[in-house]
Amino acid sequence: MIKVGIIGASGYTGSELLRILAQHPEAEVTAITSRTYEGRKLEEVYGGFTGWNGPVFNGSDSIDAVAGCDVVFLAMPHGVAINLVPSLLEKGQKVIDLGADFRFRDAQIYESWYKLQHTQRELTKNAVYGLPEIYRKQIRQAMLVGNPGCYPTSIILAIYPLLKAGLADPDRIIIDSKSGVSGAGRKADLAYNFPELFGNFKAYGLAGHRHTPEIEQELSLAAGKAVKATFSPHLLPVARGILSTIYLNLTKEITTEEVEEILTRSYQGEPFVKIIKEPRLPELKWVAGTNCCHIGVRVDRRTNQLIVVSVIDNMVKGAAGQAIQNMNLMCDLPETMGLQQWPVYP
């Protein structure tokens, strides 16, 4: 039984880790921390956990709180994990950081987009970007994983194989993403007050969202050259899920069916990626509560565009589920363990 600790467990990512780990046959949560809820039971914060018999919230975010844990998940604001990771690694604990601190190969890019100084540049070299569909081998060996952002997961999975296949012009990639509100986290903020968002919809963070360099980092590796992407996030009036619609300039003539074929072959054997074939297109709720990513494509011959649509649950494949998938790999467990639920629908 793997002992698991979660630092910063009272947010939505924390509670989602707990939801999934509660079903995991080989993991046991032995420590959860939250400065806000020190000494409180989980069910006092999340009524749905009434009857859960795990630990109460430890009020300290220090590494002592997770002493004895084999794996530690960090669900902290950007910049905070940097200082905790070295000590955790020294104690031989495996670390999965759900923030942005260890997602970048080039710490300078992190510093320029996140306006923070990166005090552990050396560590970034050993950190693995936790997208198993691309870095499975490295994750198995890793002690430190930078768990991908929610938007980047939905986007990279959708078009990585297509850029790799040279199908599309890497110079003009348009990404129009729509996310449920849980992506903004659990916080008291007038902008997320229920009546403001009910029946509403809007774009935000245009031409500057911090997930952009993360997306470009991975897509550039796929394309074999620097990729520039226009990334436009929108706020959907739902709790969960991300749908990304991606527009690629085709570099050669190809049919919808042939593109589907390329994706199908690329993801052959992948447990969590599924290609939705014409005439169907992926829907947000088809992956709600699951670790799956669904991808559909259409070639628009009139305009020579390839339109790619992907859906994930931002809380699962976009955060906690992927983190547990990474934990499974790092701990030599079956990759899908604890992650095989079907969506709650309708």
User: In this structure, how many other beta carbons lie within 10 angstroms of the beta carbon of residue 117?
Assistant: 11
Question: Looking at residue 172, what DSSP letter applies?
Answer: E
Are residues 293 and 272 in contact, defined by beta-carbon separation less than 8 angstroms? yes
Q: Any bridge partners for residue 256, and if so which? A: none
Q: Any bridge partners for residue 247, and if so which? A: 174, 307
Q: Are strands 305-312 and 242-250 parallel, antiparallel or unpaired?
A: antiparallel
| Cα distances (angstroms) measured from residue 296 to each of 51, 159, 261, 269, 308 | 40, 11, 11, 18, 6
Q: Any bridge partners for residue 177, and if so which? A: 233, 244
- Joined together, the tokens standing for residue 343 give 């969506």
Catalytic residue among 69, 150, 292, 293: 150
Least Å from the CB of residue 158 to a second copy:
12
Least Å from the CB of residue 10 to a second copy:
11
Least Å from the CB of residue 295 to a second copy:
11
Least Å from the CB of residue 20 to a second copy:
9
Is 331 part of the annotated catalytic residue set? no
The Cα–Cα gap between 224 and 240 comes to: 33
- Joined together, the tokens standing for residue 291 give 């670790």
| Cα distances (angstroms) measured from residue 134 to each of 73, 276, 314, 338 | 21, 20, 19, 21
Are residues 190 and 126 in contact, defined by beta-carbon separation less than 8 angstroms? no
Least Å from the CB of residue 229 to a second copy:
7
Question: Of 48 and 166, which CB lies nearer to a second copy in the complex structure?
Answer: 48
Least Å from the CB of residue 267 to a second copy:
11
Q: Are strands 144-146 and 202-203 parallel, antiparallel or unpaired?
A: unpaired
Which residues are tagged catalytic? 150
